[in-house]
Amino acid sequence: MLNSDGSLQRIHPPSLTAEERAAREAAERRAQAERTAQLDAIRRDRNLINRFPNEAAHRKAREASLDTVRVAIRNTEMRLQRLAAERKPLDAEAEFYRDRPLPGLLKQQLDANEAAAEAQRAAAQTQAAELERINRLYDAELDRLRRLWAGAPAGSLGGAQTLPASDTRTGVKN
């Protein structure tokens, strides 16, 4: 476009084809997603540093998270011991019926005891997996924090963030 005196006002590029427009929009969406991800990483890192200003605070939070699971594991172990103690008289009574079918009530009690023990064993496995998950989470978090405490700028550690979208330990949305 030219001004009335003939000087150049601005240059209009040629109209984009549908494919070129789609490619440009896709590139803009990718760039916006990258900017958003970078801002989220900076916010997460700042929140992490604010929540854990030093290693002692992080260790205390780890122990608090692990204590909950450890209590559940102890309760599960105690319940398994009680079920084993309840099982002994049932097994002793079942000895009298070695060559004969068990009475319905005794069979029902043995089955219920075995089902409860199996449920407790499954709960123990779940709790052990939870203990490992918490430790992995805190280990990754501590590694990231150590780099941040050493002076790495917030958001500069890449997108290898291992924290979930919301941190259930604190209820804080990352």
Q: Which two structure tokens, joined as six digits, stand for 168?
A: 């259930």
Structural domain of residue 27, as residue ranges?
A: 17-51
List the one residue out of 70, 81, 49 whose CA is nearest residue 151: 49
pLDDT of 34-61, one tens digit each?
A: 999 999 989 998 998 999 999 999 999 9
**Do 108 and 28 lie in a common domain?**
no
What pLDDT is recorded for position 168? 47
Which residue intervals of the chain are DSSP H helices? Answer: 18-51, 55-95, 104-149
pLDDT of 147-161, one tens digit each?
A: 888 888 887 877 554
**Do 39 and 21 lie in a common domain?**
yes
Residue 87 resides in a domain: yes
Residues in the chain: 174
Which residues on neighbouring strands pair with residue 172, listed in sequence order?
167
**Do 111 and 70 lie in a common domain?**
yes
**Do 133 and 110 lie in a common domain?**
yes
Euclidean distance between CA atoms 157 and 148, whole angstroms? 8
Instruction: Please state, as a whole number, how many other Cβ atoms lie within 10 Å of the Cβ of residue 4.
Output: 6
**Do 71 and 128 lie in a common domain?**
yes
What pLDDT is recorded for position 159? 57
What is the overall mean pLDDT for the chain?
87
